[in-house]
Amino acid sequence: MKLSELRKGEKARIIACADDIPLKLVEMGCLQGREIQFLCAAPWGSPRYYRLGKDYIALDRALTERIEIRKIHEPETNLATRR
Amino acid sequence: MNRKQTWLLVGNPNTGKTSLFNKWTGLRQKTGNYPGITVKKQTGSLPPLGRLQITLWDLPGAYSIHPHSPDEQVVLETLLGRHGVFDGVVLVADLQHLRKNLLLLSEIVDLGLPVVLVINMCDEAARKGIRIDTQAIEKDWGVPVLTASAKNHLCDQTANPQTLVDAMQRARQMKARRFFPHYKLETSHFRQFLQRHTDVNAYRLWLLYTEQKALRGTAPEQEKDLPPVDPEYNAVKHRLHREVVLRYRDIGRLLAKAYAQKQKTVHPLTERIDRIMLHPVLGILIFLLVMAGVFQAVFAWSATPMEWIDRQGLHLAIWLQNSLPAGPLTGLLADGLVPGLTGVLMFVPQITLLFLFIGLLEETGYMSRIVFLTDRLLRPFGLSGKAVVPLLSGTACAVPAILGARTVENAAQRLITMLVTPFVTCSARLPVYAVLIGLVIPQRSWLGGLVNLQGLMLMGLYLMGFGMALFSAWILKHFIRSGYPALLIMEMPHYKPPIWRNLFHTLWDNVKAFLLGAGKIIVAFSIILWFLGTHGNDRFRQAARQDNPALQLEYSYLGRMGKAIEPAIRPLGYDWKIGIALLSSFAAREVFVSTLSTIYSVEGDGRQSLMEKMRNETDLRTGKPVFSLATGLSLLIFYAFAMQCFSTLAVLRQETGSWKWPAVVFGYMTGLAYGLSFLVYQFLA
């Protein structure tokens, strides 16, 4: 799924970034395998606020469509499904 | 013999680089501009140690050597030696974000430059459970490593400048590691380029090659041999991404050895504060409150000190007049120079208060939240979210507001912000609006006095000012481009208490720059204007003997200029008396009122009697009142849009480094005002 599809509070791991994302985003630590969490969006839907590893970062919504992720399920929900 | 060295201070934004710079250099600082661009150039010197004199050069913050903004481009150009010779680089990194900070270090190391790594905010290490092995970094990468803190903390190894200087000299001896040759990123095209220049550092060539678009036009003779536009450009782009990934791999390997964090903070304070600050309702409310605070400070709190300065200036002028023999020199001192100086000093309270607030917003980290909340709204107009503060403080006065635009990092956005700020309705326009609205807009109100026509007109003028500022920004956006992509990628720094030393430095810097830069021009202008208003031909002297101020003004040089422009302002519905008032408004717009008082020989300064005289004033040619609705509205439009303030022009000159932009602003604003006033008058008359 895409980063833009992540819901508020959800965590994910980055799988791949489109080749045309700005180099700056890679330099800011948007790398394969990094954990990313969607914290909130500005009242007008863009930009969006993420925790990327230990850093906080604001991204234009258009950029989040170009980042491929895999959702991380919280341990609690894992336990719940096991029961 | 004294030895001199120049070292560059680089680092990511938000690493506290400037705090350390302030701590190390104290007040031994100088501010300038890079030629032709509005990027600030800050240098300072370390306390002299023995025979070694070291100058530090604080560069703008940068995440990487590959530029993504005009500020970062300056960093690249400087590192490539395009802005002067230097001996080495001090890189400031923040302990908590070491991984990201080391990216820039690995790039600079590849350039073969002597580098000292200073790890800042070491005082946070214990609290965050971070352990760092500086020896391991030093051994592995071959660069001297120091820990530092802008607060006075035991871990600050740079507290003694000697330690820093020793590390610098050590860096010149050590052989740092190279990364780039192992990455095998060369395209075949680049390899040919490399073979032609075996004597040049390979990474330097890689930068010249990959950043040729950014660096165009800055190359010295020996580097003119850049490859032509690359057929493999897409491959290069892919390789630049790969370069970053590989660098992060090497950084990860180093940090696995040298960096350990015990506990992981699950819900850091920043995240919790932001839940409130960025809340769709609460966040906007807090933002509006903060803006109201800034507005209140610049508008109201500055009033008392400004009045005080004004009074002192007046006292001094009167004292000079009484104690010196009457003559042209006394006139120059008491009526020209002293009011000019007072006029400059009057701005200081506003500038101080505005920069105190901007400093607080920047230092605490809230400024990034302002950008987050407003970016989407201002971006279509080519402005950054940071333009909100200067634009809003423009309602008090454009002079501090234009200085306040320094907070906008992107040079293109900063320039646009400065150029459109004068449209915002400043407090000097208010007395003019009050008189004119009172004169031509009927007193009519609806809903039991809740809505009032005169009030609506005033609100309309404010909205027109903001609207025209945004519209002009939108137009300028098409001409002033930075060439860098516009999608927002912004680090959100952690909230932290302000470091007062930094606030003090920002204040001192800006007030000093204003007094020495724009101040000179303002004093010169006001002396010229004083001369024009108080000198004239024989008829002027005759009027002076009769002690008739109205005739005196009419026959002064300024009065004759007002008459000379009458044909030009006739189509707007103005006569020569208004012409004189328009010209004298250049000192400050509110002078319009006092000039008209003088022309109409109003005794005292009662606004009521002035308005009566203005109402009774009839045009000799047509026999109709001069201040008709058409003329009044046309004048209101003219005052809303025209550039009539030489203090603003002076400060624009100071901030952009040439008379080009002030001239553009003057031409554009006055042309626009003329055109619109013409339309209004011709339509209504």
| pLDDT tens by residue, B158-192 | 888 899 999 999 999 998 899 998 888 887 778 88
- Please tell me whether residues B188 and B116 are part of one structural domain: no
Q: Using only C-alpha atoms, what is the Rg of chain A?
A: 13
Query: What's the DSSP call for residue A68?
Result: E
Confidence of residue A80 (pLDDT cuts 50, 70, 90): very low
User: Is A46 part of the contact surface with chain B (CB cutoff 8 Å)?
Assistant: yes
Q: What is the pLDDT of residue B7?
A: 95
Q: Inform me whether the pLDDT recorded for B562 exceeds 60.
A: yes
- Please tell me whether residues B116 and B225 are part of one structural domain: no
User: Is A45 part of the contact surface with chain B (CB cutoff 8 Å)?
Assistant: yes
- B146 membership: H or E segment, kind and range: strand B145-147
Mean pLDDT on B247-255: 94
Q: What is the pLDDT of residue A5?
A: 94
Looking at the complex, report in whole angstroms how far the Cα of residue B488 sits from the nearest Cα belonging to chain A.
Answer: 5
Select the residue of B237, B280, B491 nearest A55 (Cβ to Cβ).
Answer: B491
pLDDT, tens digit (0-9, with 9 covering 90-100), for B368-392: 999 999 988 988 898 888 888 888 8
Nearest-by-CA chain B residue for A43: B280
pLDDT, tens digit (0-9, with 9 covering 90-100), for B612-647: 778 877 776 677 787 888 899 999 999 999 998 888
Q: What is the pLDDT of residue B484?
A: 67
pLDDT, tens digit (0-9, with 9 covering 90-100), for B300-338: 888 889 889 989 988 998 999 899 888 888 888 888 888
Structure tokens at B435: 């008189």
Q: Inform me whether the pLDDT recorded for B397 exceeds 80.
A: yes
pLDDT, tens digit (0-9, with 9 covering 90-100), for B354-367: 888 888 988 898 98
- Verify whether the Cβ–Cβ distance A24 to B63 is below 8 Å: yes
- Verify whether the Cβ–Cβ distance A23 to B64 is below 8 Å: yes
Percent of chain B with pLDDT over 70: 93
Distance CA B461, CA A12 (A): 50
CB A42 within 8 A of CB B373: yes
Task: Give the end of a domain, one of B180, B213, B243.
Answer: B180
Identify whether B276 is part of a domain: no
Name the superfamily (CATH) of residues A3-82. Answer: Ferrous iron transport protein A (FeoA) (2.30.30.90)
Q: Inform me whether the pLDDT recorded for B267 exceeds 80.
A: no
Instruction: Report chain B residues whose CB lies below 8 A from the CB of A62.
Output: 487
- Verify whether the Cβ–Cβ distance A55 to B100 is below 8 Å: yes
Mean pLDDT on B546-561: 82
User: Is A25 part of the contact surface with chain B (CB cutoff 8 Å)?
Assistant: yes
Lowest mean pLDDT among B62-71, B200-209, B293-302: B293-302
Q: Inform me whether the pLDDT recorded for B285 exceeds 90.
A: yes
Residue B470 CB coordination number (10 Å): 19
Distance CA B476, CA B415 (A): 9
- Cα dihedral sign for B414, B417, B422, B426? negative
Q: What is the pLDDT of residue A65?
A: 93
- Verify whether the Cβ–Cβ distance A27 to B63 is below 8 Å: yes
- Please tell me whether residues B669 and B537 are part of one structural domain: yes
CB B392 within 8 A of CB B291: yes
Q: What is the pLDDT of residue B36?
A: 54
Identify whether B600 is part of a domain: yes
- Verify whether the Cβ–Cβ distance A47 to B283 is below 8 Å: no
Q: Structural domain boundaries of chain A?
A: 3-82
- Please tell me whether residues B135 and B237 are part of one structural domain: no
- Please tell me whether residues B98 and B224 are part of one structural domain: no
CB B204 within 8 A of CB B183: no
- Please tell me whether residues B102 and B207 are part of one structural domain: no
Nearest-by-CA chain B residue for A63: B487
- Verify whether the Cβ–Cβ distance A31 to B248 is below 8 Å: yes
CB B446 within 8 A of CB B106: no
- Verify whether the Cβ–Cβ distance B68 to A47 is below 8 Å: no
Domain tally, chain B: 3
Q: Inform me whether the pLDDT recorded for A76 exceeds 70.
A: no
Mean pLDDT on A21-28: 89
Asked if the bond preceding A47 is cis, omega within 30° of 0, the reply is yes
The arrangement of strands across the sheet holding A67-72 comes to A67-72, A11-17, A35-41, A48-52, A55-59, B489-491
Identify whether B636 is part of a domain: yes
Interface of B with A (CB under 8 A): 63-64, 66, 68, 96-97, 99-100, 103, 237-238, 240-241, 244-245, 248, 270-271, 274-275, 278, 280, 283-284, 368, 371-373, 375-377, 485, 487-494
- Please tell me whether residues B670 and B530 are part of one structural domain: yes
Select the residue of A31, A44, A47 nearest B488 (Cβ to Cβ).
Answer: A47
Distance CA B611, CA B466 (A): 28
Q: What is the pLDDT of residue A81?
A: 47
- Please tell me whether residues B136 and B248 are part of one structural domain: no
Distance CA A18, CA A66 (A): 5
Interface size A-B, in CB pairs within 8 Å, comes to 101
Higher local confidence (pLDDT), B623 or A15? A15
Containing structural domain, residue B253: 182-259
Looking at the complex, report in whole angstroms how far the Cα of residue B255 sits from the nearest Cα belonging to chain A.
Answer: 15
Identify whether B290 is part of a domain: no
B489, B491, B494, B496: which to substitute to probe chain A, counting the most A Cβ within 10 Å?
A: B489
Instruction: Report chain B residues whose CB lies below 8 A from the CB of A42.
Output: 278, 372-373, 375-376
Select the residue of A22, A40, A49 nearest B489 (Cβ to Cβ).
Answer: A22
Q: What is the pLDDT of residue B673?
A: 94
Task: Give the end of a domain, one of B122, B156, B180.
Answer: B180
- Verify whether the Cβ–Cβ distance A39 to B274 is below 8 Å: yes
- Residue B83 vs residues A56, B47, B219: alpha-carbon distances, Å: 33, 24, 11
Q: State pTM to two decimals.
A: 0.82
Q: What is the pLDDT of residue B506?
A: 79
Average pLDDT, chain B: 85
- Verify whether the Cβ–Cβ distance B275 to A40 is below 8 Å: yes
- Please tell me whether residues B140 and B205 are part of one structural domain: no
Q: Inform me whether the pLDDT recorded for B459 exceeds 70.
A: yes
- Verify whether the Cβ–Cβ distance A57 to B280 is below 8 Å: no
Confidence of residue B535 (pLDDT cuts 50, 70, 90): confident
CATH number at residue B111: 3.40.50.300
Select the residue of A40, A44, A56 nearest B376 (Cβ to Cβ).
Answer: A44
Identify whether B436 is part of a domain: no
Task: Give the end of a domain, one of B180, B213, B236.
Answer: B180
- Please tell me whether residues B236 and B93 are part of one structural domain: no
Percent of chain B with pLDDT over 90: 31
Q: Inform me whether the pLDDT recorded for B228 exceeds 70.
A: no
Lowest mean pLDDT among A58-67, B74-83, B286-295, B614-623: B614-623
- Please tell me whether residues B119 and B226 are part of one structural domain: no
Q: Inform me whether the pLDDT recorded for B2 exceeds 70.
A: no
- B25 membership: H or E segment, kind and range: helix B17-25
- Residue B557 vs residues B535, B561, B585, B665: alpha-carbon distances, Å: 6, 6, 15, 26
pLDDT, tens digit (0-9, with 9 covering 90-100), for B288-310: 999 888 878 877 888 889 889 98
Could you tell me which of B276, B470, B277, B275 has the C-alpha nearest to residue B361? B277
Confidence of residue B222 (pLDDT cuts 50, 70, 90): low
User: Is A16 part of the contact surface with chain B (CB cutoff 8 Å)?
Assistant: no
Q: What is the pLDDT of residue B120?
A: 92
**Chain center to CA of B381:** 18
pLDDT, tens digit (0-9, with 9 covering 90-100), for B139-164: 999 999 999 998 777 889 988 889 99
- Please tell me whether residues B220 and B98 are part of one structural domain: no
Nearest-by-CA chain B residue for A32: B245
Provide the terminal-to-terminal Cα distance of chain A, rounded to the nearest Å: 27
Identify whether B393 is part of a domain: no
